[in-house]
Amino acid sequence: MGCKEIMEELQSRASEKYKANVVRMGIPEEYCIGVSTGEVRAIAKKVGKSNELAFELWNTGYHEAKLLAVLVFDKKHITHADIETLMDEVVSWDLCDHLCKNLIAKMSDYEDFIDKWSKSAHTYKKRAAYTLIATAAVHNKKLSVDALDGYLEQIKGDSDIEQDQVKKAVSWALREIGKRDFDS
């Protein structure tokens, strides 16, 4: 399937109910189709991995195409510059979290982004740092106590942040670290 066929498939699965949900999250109506994440995941399974196709989908500007692109990217063949470019274009918390959990957190050097983005003034890059911390706290069973302590220091530093989208991710990261069993 090429980009054109995939976009037609997305259009065929569109629902006004899901479009209203996406618009409510702050995505401009002209950039959303109205396809559930479950439907996007089903299409991704049919498509497979291809960074070329993923960039084509991302560049359509449609929210659901970007969600699909994240699932189509091959983490083994994506660069830090590519990730930075993608993050520069993120305009919603759900796309930020989706990108972090389904692509960036699966990269072997995801911690580099945490360190860099936790100092960023860009709302969604800063949110991404804490989304990655929350994701690592849940999924990376090999995280050391020292790494977790470092994350807690970052959280402490941003505990009074005013940006709502970042504040929610900071809280989420803290809650996920708090669920860890430090004795095992």
Indicate if 37 and 71 belong to the same structural domain: yes
Q: Which of 95, 98, 99, 125 is nearest to 113 (CA)?
A: 125
102 in the same domain as 74: no
pLDDT digits (tens, 9 = 90+) for 72-113: 999 999 999 999 999 999 989 999 999 999 999 999 999 999
Quickly list H helices, 1-117.
Answer: 3-12, 16-24, 37-47, 51-58, 63-72, 80-88, 93-102, 111-117
- Whether 184 has a pLDDT exceeding 60, the answer reads no
Predicted pLDDT at 27: 84
Residues 64 and 136 in one domain: no
Res 172: pLDDT? 97
Spatial separation of the C-alpha atoms in residues 91 and 144, rounded to whole Å: 32
Both 94 and 50 in one domain: the answer is no
Predicted confidence (pLDDT) per residue in 120-141, tens digit? 999 999 999 999 999 999 999 8
Q: pTM here?
A: 0.92
pLDDT (tens digit per residue) in 139-148: 998 999 999 9
99 plus 72 within the same structural domain: no
